[in-house]
Structure 1
Amino acid sequence: MDWDRVEGNWMQLKGKIKEQWGKLTDDDLDVIAGKREQLEGKIQERYGKAKDAAKREVDDWYNSQTW
C-alpha cells in the first residue's frame, strides 16, 4: 500500500477522514498530519478499538478510495 498518497493529499483527505471517523476532531487531524500510525492510534483512542481492528478499518478505507 502506498500511504505516501495519503500524506501528500492530507489537506484534501481530511474531510473524507472525518466522514468515516466523525469522532476525530480537527485538532486530532492536525496532529495526525497524514501519518498512518497516528491515525490508527487516534481511532483506537476515540472508538475503543483494538489495534488490529483500527488497522483493518484504515486498510478498508484506503482501499475504498478512488486514486
Structure 2
Amino acid sequence: MTTLKLKGSWNEAKGKLKQKYGQLTDNDLIFQEGKEDELLGRIQQRTGETKEDIRRFIEEV
C-alpha cells in the first residue's frame, strides 16, 4: 500500500469527507503524518467503506 497523498490542504479534504460521510467527527479525521493507515481505519470503522474506496476518495479531492 502506498503512502496516502493529499492534494491541497487537509482541511479541504476533511470538509469533503464530512460532506460525504456525515457521521465523521473532527476526532475521526485527525491526521498525523506517518499514521495514514490509522486514519483510514478510523474512517472505515465509522463508514463501513473499504480502505481503498476511502483512499481513492481522498486522493480525488
Q: TM-score range by the shorter chain?
A: 0.5 to 0.7
Shift, 1:43, TM fit = 2.3
Alignment of 1:1-67 (within 5 A): 3-4=4-5, 6=6, 9-30=9-30, 33=31, 35-47=35-47, 49=48, 53-65=49-61
Residues 24, 43 of structure 1: 8 Å contact kept: yes
How many percent identity over aligned positions?
A: 33
Larger Rg: 1
Higher helix share: 1
Unaligned runs of 5+ in 1: none
Unaligned runs of 5+ in 2: none
Aligned structure 1 segments of 4 or more residues deviating by more than 2 angstroms: 1-4, 62-65
Number of equivalences: 58
TM-score (norm 1): 0.55
TM-score (norm 2): 0.58
